[in-house]
Amino acid sequence: EPEVTQTPSHQVTQMGQEVILRCVPISNHLYFYWYRQILGQKVEFLVSFYNNEISEKSEIFDDQFSVERPDGSNFTLKIRSTKLEDSAMYFCASSDMTGGNEKLFFGSGTQLSVL
Amino acid sequence: RKEVEQDPGPFNVPEGATVAFNCTYSNSASQSFFWYRQDCRKEPKLLMSVYSSGNEDGRFTAQLNRASQYISLLIRDSKLSDSATYLCVVNPYYTGGFKTIFGAGTRLFVKA
């Protein structure tokens, strides 16, 4: 069964450092998303991406965040200068919008720890 | 009002019980509705879509009431493996973009 893959599974970084989280969506999907989940809290929408541009973004997705699809398969989330409060599980998801029905398929996540 | 609101629980039920979860959403223009399941420290996984006519998948039944902006999930004959957090998910197309919103989830514990 096709799946969304995320790397790395764990990332530890120092405050102020840049991190790049990587995702390979399901190959025939065209819609891509990043979500985050702080421990014990809800899954929060960060950004959606379609046709090589951002479709929607939340208030969390400020100038420190950026997304890119550099080569037609990878979908990356970059955090330029990490803060302690960026520590969370980051989930990538993709969908194909077949029939307009937006079922999301998630990767297993990257646990980001900012020290 | 939160975009998607759920009772956090936890619901503690014995095996074999029937349990129901509710969810309300704030935007009447919302188009797509889903229930996802999330196990501890894992990614959310799609449980089922929710249609206006109601739909059933084995022991699971989902209902949508657009007039009341209300979604429900019924689990019959609960199994130990049903223990998880159940996430109500809504796609509010009002923004013109793609922004799927998750509720905070309802925790279910099924006991032997």
pLDDT tens digit string along B48-83?
989 888 899 999 999 999 999 999 999 999 999 999
Interface test with A, best of B35, B43, B46 (most A CBs within 10 A): B43
Which one of B32, B43, B98 has the shortest CB-CB distance to A91?
A: B43
Binning pLDDT at 50, 70 and 90, where does residue B31 land? confident
In angstroms, rounded to a whole number, what is the distance separating the alpha carbons of residues A92 and A70?
Answer: 16
State whether A56 and B99 contact (CB < 8 Å): yes
pLDDT at site B32: 84
Structure tokens given for A113: 């720890």
Place of tokens 């100038």: A63
Tokens of A82: 């990490």
Looking at the predicted structure, is the pLDDT value of residue B28 above 70? Answer: yes
Cα distances (angstroms) measured from residue A79 to each of A21, A22, A35, A65, B88: 8, 12, 13, 5, 28
Residues B90-104 pLDDT 10s:
887 655 567 888 999
- Give the residue ranges of chain A where pLDDT is below 50: none
Kindly report the nearest CA distance between residue A36 and chain B, in angstroms.
10
Tokens of B66: 């657009």
Give the alpha-carbon dihedral of B71, B87, B100, A53, to 10 degrees.
-170
| Model pLDDT, residue B99 | 80
Predicted pLDDT at A73: 86
Determine what percent of chain B is predicted with pLDDT higher than 70: 96
pLDDT at B93: 62
Q: Are residues A78 and A20 in contact, defined by beta-carbon separation less than 8 angstroms?
A: yes
